[in-house]
Amino acid sequence: MMGRGQWRMLKNWTLLHRRQTIIVLTLAFFIWTVTVVNFSTSMSQYGVRESEKLRKDVINLSEKYVKALARENEGIVDGPYAGRFTAYDLKKTIAVLLESILERLNRVEDQLFNQTMMNRNITRSTEASGIQAQDLLEGKNEQCELTKKDKQLYPQCTGKIEWMKQMWKSDPCYSNYGVDGSLCSFIMYLSEVEGWCPRSAWHGTSTVPKDDPTILLMANITTNIEPLMQMLVDPNERESYAWIRMRIRRIWDRWTKAVNSLAAKQDLSGRRQKKILVHLGLLSQQSGWKFAENQFKGGPLGELVQWSDLITTLYILGHKLTITSEVDQLKNILSKLPAANSPCQSRKELPVHIIYTDIVGLRQFKKFVKEGYGKFSCLLRIVDTFGTEPAFNHQQFAKKRKKSSSWGGQNLQPQQFFNMFPHSPDNSFMGFVVEQHLNDSLVNEIPRENQALVYGKNEYMWQAKTQYLDIINKSLEVHATVYMDERSDKETNTASTIIPSYVINHGFLNGEDLHTLLRQSKVFVGLGFPYEGPAPLEAIANGAVFLNPKFNPPHNRNNNAFFKGKPTEREVTSQHPYAEQFIGEPYVYTIDIGNEEQVRSTVQKILDLDTFQAYMPYEFTEEGMIQRMNSYIEHQNFCQFQRQPSKWPPEKAITLLFGEPNKSCKDVCWEKNFICEPSHFLRTNSMEALKQHGAPCSTEKVALDIFYPALDTRTNDCILQQDELLFSCVGKQENLRRLCPCRNYIKGQIALCQGCER
Ligand SMILES: *[C@@H]1O[C@H](CO)[C@@H](O)[C@H](O)[C@H]1NC(C)=O
Ligand SMILES: *[C@@H]1O[C@H](CO)[C@@H](O)[C@H](O)[C@H]1NC(C)=O
Ligand SMILES: *[C@@H]1O[C@H](CO)[C@@H](O)[C@H](O)[C@H]1NC(C)=O
Ligand SMILES: *[C@@H]1O[C@H](CO)[C@@H](O)[C@H](O)[C@H]1NC(C)=O
Ligand SMILES: *[C@@H]1O[C@H](CO)[C@@H](O)[C@H](O)[C@H]1NC(C)=O
Ligand SMILES: *[C@@H]1O[C@H](CO)[C@@H](O)[C@H](O)[C@H]1NC(C)=O
Ligand SMILES: *[C@@H]1O[C@H](CO)[C@@H](O)[C@H](O)[C@H]1NC(C)=O
């Protein structure tokens, strides 16, 4: 009965020494003799039902003995097929044992009842192990085969097997996992441990082993802030977390309200508590960025905002956090993990389920885990402000195409990068929380004045904008919050030669005063820089209409110093693409600020509005962020069986669309009010799929670039993607029509599909 279930058990026991094999055989024969003698006599008395029961007894008993023996001899390795995966000696033993017992049983039965039908099932189940005892004794190997479909679903499997053939001896950990040089042991290891190959190739069960529910801790909503504050104490007294602590404390009430409100809308119980390592590379002394030092001196805070909100979200959802910001701390944690430096990819012993870090942190991390990195790589989530497109992420491809960048080349799955705004859908959108400083009762008492507030806290942002501002000055009082250093402060802002004299400057304001000023203003005036800050969202949330400068041509890494070297070809079409694309009129007007007539008419249009509605996209509220991150944590899995068609988001949310030539999937989907969903690219990557959606394929080709799968309109070649790391929502080329996986979305929570909140 070498069925599938038993195989699993066998794998977990260890092996038998050859000598023990003989003992087993002897013992089993003894049991068999006793039972069968009994059996033959009882058979005539009790009939068929009894015989069935006895047969099972025989099998059970011999199993028990073999099992007991195996346990006693744990750790003994023997013979060429002795790996734990193949467990060949043990298999041989049991197969021989059972086959001989069954054979004799059958003969007895046949004689007595001629129960051939009944036996057929048993015979079949011995066959199910794929190999007969006789063959085993003759030293035949099991046949592990990849079907064409397997290869399609697990395109990396073949390559990994080739690698194993060369490298399995390079580290003892492979043989500890039972790899023994046979093809089957490679396939078993690659499917069971690393998830690159299908289990069907070796008849393994397709159910993923479940963790023991008795040792699972459930994640409970946590609203007590103090343990979190204690976690955020810098051991080196650099006060790196001071700013983060302040932000968390300041918004804490809103966070707790948000999580309770979300829990009332959707079931947040029954979630498994995850162990999460958060390593803030940007705060480390080694980063050289002096983030920690500059946090209160006007340093860039966008990243710290995002980290604060991420940490709060994870904590409030009840996950178990370890937070580090120094290399020493990281080293200390990793040095306690024996598995950290081993190249074998089992994640069973790892004391962490998810790791959030940034590119700096990732480099530090790689340095300390060295060969062990592979098994961690799928646990990583990289907090990445700008986004990393597949073409830059794929190291070899980037090198070949001269797209190498100090940020790219990490060979992670593109969705492992978490952006501040929804950039390329190839990455995941993490976002942050737009802070609201004014409470509702206060808000209604602030009257809206005929005034505009200019978005530009540093003088240099105002360069060459006078003409544009003069038009606004014609109908609105122009205010500003430009930070002036000591010198010009004393001499008043007239000292500035860049800022027009009619501008009323309030200097640097705290959050509450700034929001009060926004409440009084009708227009929030963008100057074109900085890109994609939180401020326009705060303005819109306070009812001020955002004038968003359009860029024609769009800014990108080739024409703009700011984006140079960033791992993205993104075309930034305005100062705030999110506001342009996802919010729009009447909250946002994206205009050419060099076109006087357009500026004038737009300002007039805004002034003609009767009411100034505040709008806050749900995804930038505390509740929206908790909902989104919770969905990611519960569903995203970049590890086991990663090359299988994705189960999340579910298929019902997906529509495959065959695009026009010269269009990226991002655009193809967006034009039909969908979002490109990279986790479903695998479904598009076949001739059948292309044909089904109207591609007149003449020949099938396979290639390696970010445009595929696609139809070449000149040749009618259907070109499939060779390397899934290059599946890309943004790839496009003139003569190519792409087949795109598109997903529906919730307005205001575009990371999630409709009905996918949980
Ligand atoms: C044999 O063992 C299995 C589980 O190990 C059990 O479910 C079954 O009832 C046993 N059969 C007999 C006849 O004892
Ligand atoms: C059992 O029955 C089958 C036909 O049903 C027959 O071919 C076979 O010879 C019988 N076996 C014995 C041992 O009588
Ligand atoms: C053989 O097994 C199948 C399913 O496992 C069952 O439906 C069938 O009744 C069995 N046949 C006999 C003769 O026991
Ligand atoms: C969550 O609450 C349940 C029930 O109160 C408890 O059994 C479990 O241990 C809690 N989980 C954690 C991580 O404390
Ligand atoms: C609103 O804010 C004001 C001033 O900060 C405060 O006095 C008042 O108590 C707040 N109201 C509520 C309902 O929180
Ligand atoms: C700005 O507006 C004020 C008030 O309407 C006006 O007095 C001033 O001349 C304007 N300045 C410019 C440069 O247009
Ligand atoms: C393809 O698109 C680019 C910009 O998206 C455009 O400049 C180019 O002219 C287009 N080519 C064709 C053949 O339409």
Q: What is the mean pLDDT of the chain?
A: 80
Verify whether ligand 3 is closer than 6 Å to residue 118 (CB atom): yes
Question: Residue 52: which residues within 8 A CB-CB, separation 6 or more?
Answer: 118
Name the residue of 106, 117, 121, 124 to mutate for ligand 3: max ligand atoms within 8 A of Cβ. Answer: 121
Least confident range from 256-260, 325-329, 464-468, 538-542: namely 325-329
pLDDT for 591 equals 97
Which residue's CA is minimally distant from atom 3 of ligand 2? 114
pLDDT band at 79 (very low <50, low <70, confident <90, very high): very low
Verify whether ligand 2 is closer than 6 Å to residue 111 (CB atom): yes
* Comparison of pLDDT for 53 and 445, the residue scoring more: 445
Closest-lying ligand 3 atom to the alpha carbon of residue 117: 13
Q: How far is the CA of 419 from the centre of ligand 3 (A)?
A: 55
Mean pLDDT of 11-33: 46
Please check whether residue 467 is in contact with residue 536, taking contact to mean a CB–CB distance below 8 angstroms. no
Distances from the Cα of 112 to the Cαs of 32, 76, 100, 650, in angstroms?
18, 43, 18, 56
pLDDT band at 238 (very low <50, low <70, confident <90, very high): confident
pLDDT tens readout for residues 471-513: 999 999 999 998 876 554 445 544 567 899 999 999 888 889 9
Indicate if the pLDDT at residue 352 is higher than 90.
no
Domains and CATH numbers, the chain: 4-139 (no CATH), 144-201 (no CATH), 226-333+352-429 (no CATH), 440-616 (3.40.50.2000), 646-743 (no CATH)
pLDDT for 73 equals 45
Least confident range from 64-78, 305-319, 576-590: namely 64-78
pLDDT band at 74 (very low <50, low <70, confident <90, very high): very low
Verify whether ligand 1 is closer than 6 Å to residue 50 (CB atom): no
Which residue's CA is minimally distant from atom 5 of ligand 6? 474
pLDDT for 104 equals 56
For residue 372, the 8-state DSSP code is: G
Three-class secondary structure assignment of 495-534: HCCCCCCCCEECCCCCHHHHHHHHHHCCEEEECCCCCCCC
pLDDT tens readout for residues 418-439: 999 999 999 999 999 999 888 8
Percent of the chain at pLDDT > 90 equals: 48
Indicate if the pLDDT at residue 320 is higher than 90.
yes
pLDDT band at 87 (very low <50, low <70, confident <90, very high): very low
pLDDT for 33 equals 53
pLDDT band at 192 (very low <50, low <70, confident <90, very high): confident
Verify whether ligand 1 is closer than 6 Å to residue 64 (CB atom): no
pLDDT band at 146 (very low <50, low <70, confident <90, very high): confident
Distances from the Cα of 224 to the Cαs of 128, 230, 231, 317, 650, in angstroms?
55, 11, 13, 12, 35
pLDDT tens readout for residues 685-720: 999 999 999 999 999 999 999 999 999 999 999 999
Verify whether ligand 5 is closer than 6 Å to residue 207 (CB atom): no
**Which H helix or E strand runs over 477?**
strand 477-480
**Strand, coil or helix: 735:** coil
